[in-house]
Amino acid sequence: MESGAKAKTVKKYLGKGWMVDACGGHIDRLPAKKGEKGKNDAMWKSSPDKLPEAPWTSDKSKRDKIKKIIQNAKSKDVVEVFIATDPDREGEFIAWRLSEVFAKAGFEKQKRVIFNEITENSVLKSLEQDGEINYRMVDAAKVRMFMDRLIGWECANVSRRSGINSMGRVQTPTLGFIVEKEIEREKHIPQKYHSVNFHSEGIKFNIRFHEKGEDDAWIDDSGKKPKHYPERTFDKTLAEESIEALRKNKEIKLLSIKNSKKNRKAKPPFTTDTMLQSSNSYLGWSLAKTSSIASELYEKGHITYIRTDSTRTNKDSRDEIKAYILKEFGNEFIGQGVVGPDVKKQSVNIQDAHEAIRPTRPSISEINEKNEDLKKLYRLIWSRFAGSQMSDSIRENRTIRARTENFHKDIAGNASWRIHAGWEEVFQDFIRNVSIKPPESELKVGAIWKIELDSENPELVSEETKPPRRFSESSIVQEMKKAGIGRPSTYVSMVQKLQEKKYVENINGALIPTENGRRLWLEVVPLYNNQSDEILYKIFSTEFTSMMELKLDNIANSDVDSAMIWHDFVFDFYEIHNKADTNSRNNPSSKQIKLLKDLLRNMGEKEQAKILGGRDIKSLTREEIKPIIDDAINLSGPRKASKKQIDTIINKCEQLDLDLDEFLKENEIEDLENLTGGRDGSASVLIGKLFDIRGNNPATENQIKAIRNISKYLEIEIEDAMAIVKTTTIEEINFNDASELIGKLKKMKKK
């Protein structure tokens, strides 16, 4: 199995005579570390009818773990190996690698075991079936890895010229959503408006200032379609007149009442993305927390597999929850069952044949766990599944039109109260403030309703339209799902990678692109995506990414030729990449352009014209811009130190407990403002001195701790470790020597 927690649960079901162990996920990977064969290769050769034979490698800790499992299996005379990795593409790849390793160790009798839920019944049933490795899914996993490797390895050479470390097949288009949303926000022009609202008999009313078609109608045309807001007006005087009339009259007269009923249908059982979104909405959790808690629930056998695009559930589970609903709430609470579009018709790129995320024992509404978070998420998952099999909730609605004396505009309000809870009965932990009674006052035409005046009733609201909301972690996952990019197994990791690589920041729940994130999307990606209007040549577009995801699914689910798909991709990729690489080499970097613009900003028009020779900065090549920058530097004189250089000096002085003013004085610098920039400037000189001081300082506690731990792991005496960097004792080692020693010890550890 992949995880120790799952192994522990399964062991409980199997009892004596079984050895149950965990491999800890992937045991092999593509080479990436120094000294590993094929580390520097973007891809590996293969014949046109085959996939590459990659030099799979593994970390020492993984090798040791598998070696220990095999030794243990041999010592206990194991006769058959059951491989029960996760039931998805990555799980199948891990199963294949484990199968190869066990076969090499002499365990020829093997069986692939798959279960969607870790319950005793499901586990025992799966052991009885003759399961085999699904090599189509293995090929899909391989091609996915090869694609990611090729794009990551090759495109990094282009992105680094713009100061960006890496690009990703799915990660970069996801970043595009976030950057484009930010640009949309920046283009937003706020529109001022005024509205008036008040409460009467517990119902909120607002003034309908302008009906559709009127010259003064308030229209928001910032979205895809213009939207009319009758309760908004540009005319503040008109809004103030309505307030004055309401305060003077202290009542409204009902002119019309429209009766209606509204049925609210339950939502289908959770898929990975809807679970992530709902836990964020209802519980306020991050993607990482939800994913972690859901994994634990699955591993403990409480819920089905958590990586799924499907809303399908099996009949036994539906029958069980319906029996529970009938017993607890009555027949009127049983519905026909709600499913998503994936069941009604094949949706965009549905990868798997899994069920939705649901309780493994539907009749249990609450689990007996000490961890409150486990209980909360389980209850949400249970409620969603139970609700999907329940009747609609029903509300009575009364749409009210009214007037107040001496004011000529209609007043609108809506009274609503629930008359049948339906699925909301099991959602009471998550739904608040549901009205279940009609207004106490008479609901009929001509009735007079009083307004209880206070400082905020009635209220004049003067606001501006807001820019589009930024993506949150959960809403960006929804966008990925909608576009057909990424998969349930990658949603969380994609969003995390964008933050780890500092392309995106999560500030108060909103995803905001950093300077590097914007530069990657706006400067580097166009080198690839702007070569042609054809989707085939836009490798970082959502359309291309979705198309490739579909091809991976086709490899896994049908008899398409995986080698042909791979080789076609390689051909198309290099045709695009080589052009992007050439253009990137010829184009100036964003840093060069920024530097030149900064230098020119301090010059007069004549000096600028002389430097540029009548050329536009955008038309310059990388080679042409270099001498122009040199001329501009010579003409403009010494540059000021950058903010980054000044911040580095301040931070290093603080770390070294140096008085900043004294340090500057010792180096004949009057003030930070007098520092010069550039590689040979006074700021660079000071930074070099500060690093020299730091290097000669004693090693930090963390360095000493690392030296002791690695030496212990390597079974090396501390004195022998010190001898490597020609230091007598660990108490005497300085910062630089400690850094050097840690690096050398780590290399020894890898060997």
Number of H helices, E strands in the chain: 27, 13
Q: Which CATH superfamily is domain 272-390 in?
A: Topoisomerase I, domain 4 (1.10.290.10)
The model's pLDDT over 466-518, given as tens digits with 9 standing for 90+, comes to 999 999 999 999 999 999 998 888 899 999 999 999 999 999 999 999 999 99
Q: How far apart are CA 122 and CA 138, in angstroms?
A: 24
At 584, list the tokens. 């990137």
Percent of the chain whose pLDDT exceeds 90? 62
Asked if residues 349 and 484 have their Cβ atoms less than 8 Å apart, the reply is: yes
Cα-flanking dihedrals φ and ψ of residue 569, to 5°? -65, -45
DSSP 558-591: S---HHHHHHHHHHHHHHHHHHHHHHHHHSPPHH
Amino acid at residue number 736: N
Asked if residues 310 and 355 have their Cβ atoms less than 8 Å apart, the reply is: yes
Asked if residues 151 and 167 have their Cβ atoms less than 8 Å apart, the reply is: yes
Q: How far apart are CA 328 and CA 322, in angstroms?
A: 10
Asked if residues 400 and 412 have their Cβ atoms less than 8 Å apart, the reply is: yes
> Which residue would you say has higher pLDDT here, 702 or 105?
105
Q: Is the backbone of residue 377 left (phi > 0), alpha (psi -120 to 50) or beta?
A: alpha
First-residue to last-residue Cα distance in the chain = 28
Helical spans, DSSP H, in 341-371: 341-344
Residue whose C-alpha is closest to residue 423's, from 378, 386, 380: 386
Mean pLDDT estimate for the chain: 90
Q: What value does the mean pLDDT take over residues 286-309?
A: 94
Name 410's bridge partners.
Answer: 208
HSE of 229, CA atoms in CB hemisphere, 13 A = 17
Tokens 């660079």 identify what position?
684
What CA–CA distances, in Å, run from 22 to 93, 276, 645? 15, 27, 49
Q: How far apart are CA 595 and CA 607, in angstroms?
A: 16
Q: What value does the mean pLDDT take over residues 78-98?
A: 94
Question: Which of 3.90.79.10, 1.10.10.10, 3.40.47.10, 2.70.20.10 would CATH assign to domain 192-265+394-464?
Answer: 2.70.20.10
Q: Is the pLDDT of residue 672 over 60?
A: yes
- State residue 481's pLDDT score: 92
The model's pLDDT over 38-76, given as tens digits with 9 standing for 90+, comes to 888 888 888 889 999 999 999 889 999 999 999 999 999
Q: How far is CA 679 from the centre of its chain?
A: 38
Name 415's bridge partners.
Answer: 398
Q: How far is CA 724 from the centre of its chain?
A: 44
Q: How far apart are CA 147 and CA 485, in angstroms?
A: 14
Question: What is the 3-class SS of 274-341, one letter each residue?
Answer: HHHHHHHHHHCCCHHHHHHHHHHHHHCCCEECCCCCCCCCCHHHHHHHHHHHHHHCCHHHECCCCCCH
- Helix (H) / strand (E) element for 258: namely strand 251-264
Q: How far apart are CA 196 and CA 312, in angstroms?
A: 47
Q: Is the pLDDT of residue 355 over 80?
A: yes
Q: Is the pLDDT of residue 607 over 90?
A: no
- State residue 344's pLDDT score: 64
What CA–CA distances, in Å, run from 259 to 18, 66, 148, 341? 66, 69, 58, 32
Tokens 């970043």 identify what position?
175
Count of residues in the chain: 751
Q: Is 540 helix (H, G, I), strand (E, B) or coil?
A: coil
Tokens 């499907």 identify what position?
310
Asked if residues 303 and 272 have their Cβ atoms less than 8 Å apart, the reply is: no
- State residue 351's pLDDT score: 44
Task: Tally Cβ neighbours within 10 Å of residue 371.
Answer: 13
Q: How far apart are CA 410 and CA 402, in angstroms?
A: 6
- As a dihedral over the C-alpha atoms of residue 640, residue 641, residue 642, residue 646, rounded to 10 degrees, the angle is -140
Asked if residues 650 and 684 have their Cβ atoms less than 8 Å apart, the reply is: no
Q: How far apart are CA 109 and CA 78, in angstroms?
A: 10
Q: Is the pLDDT of residue 702 over 90?
A: no
Q: Is the pLDDT of residue 746 over 50?
A: yes
Q: Is the pLDDT of residue 352 over 60?
A: no
> Which residue would you say has higher pLDDT here, 396 or 718?
396
Q: Sorting pLDDT into bands at 50, 70 and 90, what band is 345? A: low
Highest mean pLDDT among 316-330, 424-438, 557-571: 316-330
Residue whose C-alpha is closest to residue 207's, from 258, 244, 243: 243
How, if at all, do strands 110-112 and 81-83 pair? parallel
At 515, list the tokens. 């300077």
Q: Is 623 helix (H, G, I), strand (E, B) or coil?
A: helix
The model's pLDDT over 679-691, given as tens digits with 9 standing for 90+, comes to 778 888 898 888 8
Amino acid at residue number 439: P
Helical spans, DSSP H, in 401-541: 473-483, 491-500, 515-519, 525-529
Task: Tally Cβ neighbours within 10 Å of residue 395.
Answer: 18
Q: Is the dihedral of CA 184, 190, 193, 197 positive or negative?
A: positive
Q: How far apart are CA 321 and CA 161, in angstroms?
A: 58
Question: What CATH number labels 143-187+471-586?
Answer: 1.10.460.10
Q: How far apart are CA 749 and CA 741, in angstroms?
A: 12
- State residue 346's pLDDT score: 52
DSSP state of 524: I
Q: What value does the mean pLDDT take over residues 336-346?
A: 75
Q: How far apart are CA 378 and CA 358, in angstroms?
A: 9
- State residue 750's pLDDT score: 65
CB under 8 Å to 264, separation ≥6 — which residues? 392, 393, 394, 395, 422, 424
Q: Is the pLDDT of residue 537 over 80?
A: no
Instruction: Tell me the domain boundaries of the chain.
Output: 4-133, 143-187+471-586, 192-265+394-464, 272-390, 590-636, 643-696, 701-750
Q: How far apart are CA 200 and CA 382, in angstroms?
A: 39
Q: How far apart are CA 547 and CA 169, in angstroms?
A: 12
37-46, 58-67, 116-125, 372-381: which range is least confident on average?
37-46
CB under 8 Å to 156, separation ≥6 — which residues? 165, 166, 167
Q: Is the pLDDT of residue 211 over 80?
A: yes
How, if at all, do strands 203-208 and 192-200 pair? antiparallel
Q: Sorting pLDDT into bands at 50, 70 and 90, what band is 393? A: very high
Cα-flanking dihedrals φ and ψ of residue 696, to 5°? -85, -10
Residue whose C-alpha is closest to residue 384's, from 417, 359, 412, 411: 359
Q: Judging by beta carbons within 10 Å of its beta carbon (0-12, 13-18, 19+), is residue 55 exposed, middle or buried?
A: middle
- State residue 559's pLDDT score: 81
- State residue 350's pLDDT score: 46
Q: How far apart are CA 670 and CA 664, in angstroms?
A: 7
86-100, 624-638, 732-746: which range is least confident on average?
624-638
Q: How far apart are CA 35 and CA 33, in angstroms?
A: 6
The model's pLDDT over 237-275, given as tens digits with 9 standing for 90+, comes to 999 999 999 999 999 999 999 999 999 999 999 999 999
- As a dihedral over the C-alpha atoms of residue 587, residue 590, residue 591, residue 592, rounded to 10 degrees, the angle is 40
Q: Is the pLDDT of residue 122 over 60?
A: yes
Q: Sorting pLDDT into bands at 50, 70 and 90, what band is 611? A: confident
Q: Which CATH architecture has domain 4-133?
A: 3-Layer(aba) Sandwich (3.40)
Highest mean pLDDT among 305-319, 429-443, 688-702: 305-319
